[in-house]
A = this chain, B = another copy of it.
Amino acid sequence: MAKTNPGRFFEDYTVGQQIQHAVPRTVTVGERALYHALYPARHALYSSDEFARGCGLPGAPLDDLAAFHIVFGKTVPDISLNAVANLGYGEGRWLKPAYPGDTLRARSTVIGLKQNSNGKTGVVYVRSEGLNQRDELVMSFCRWVMVKKRDVEAPAPETVVPDLAQAIAPGDLVIPEGLDFTSYDFALAGEAHRWSDYEIGEQIDHVDGVTIEDAEHMMATRLWQNTSKVHFDATLRADGQRLIYGGHVISLARALSFNGLANAQMIAGLNAGAHANPCFAGTTVHAWSEVLDKAETTAPGVGAIRLRLVARSGGEAFTLKDAAGRYLPHVLLDLDYWALIPL
Contact = CB atoms under 8 A, between A and B. Distances in A.
A204 B42 CA distance: 40
Interface in A222-251: 222-223, 225, 227, 229, 232-236, 242
Interface in A133-154: 133
B261 A47 contact: no
Copies of this chain: 3
A194 B225 CA distance: 23
Contacts of A227: 40, 42, 208, 259
Contacts of A277: none
A86 interface: no
Interface in A1-39: 1, 3-5, 20, 22-26, 28-34, 36-39
Contacts of A77: 190
A206 to B, nearest CB: 6
A105 B32 CA distance: 18
Interface in A183-234: 187-191, 193, 197, 204-211, 213-216, 218-220, 222-223, 225, 227, 229, 232-234
A159 interface: no
Interface in A53-110: 60, 77, 100-101, 103, 105
Given A50-B26, A259-B5, A37 B34 contact: yes
Given A5-B259, A191-B3, A40 B234 contact: no
A44 interface: yes
Contacts of A214: 211, 213, 215
B4 A207 contact: yes
Nearest to A54: B24
A187 B106 CA distance: 12
Contact of A235 (B190, B204, B209, B262): B209
Interface of A: 1, 3-5, 20, 22-26, 28-34, 36-42, 44, 47-51, 60, 77, 100-101, 103, 105, 133, 187-191, 193, 197, 204-211, 213-216, 218-220, 222-223, 225, 227, 229, 232-236, 242, 259-262, 282, 284
6 contacts: A1-B197, A3-B197, A20-B188, A37-B219, A105-B188, A208-B229
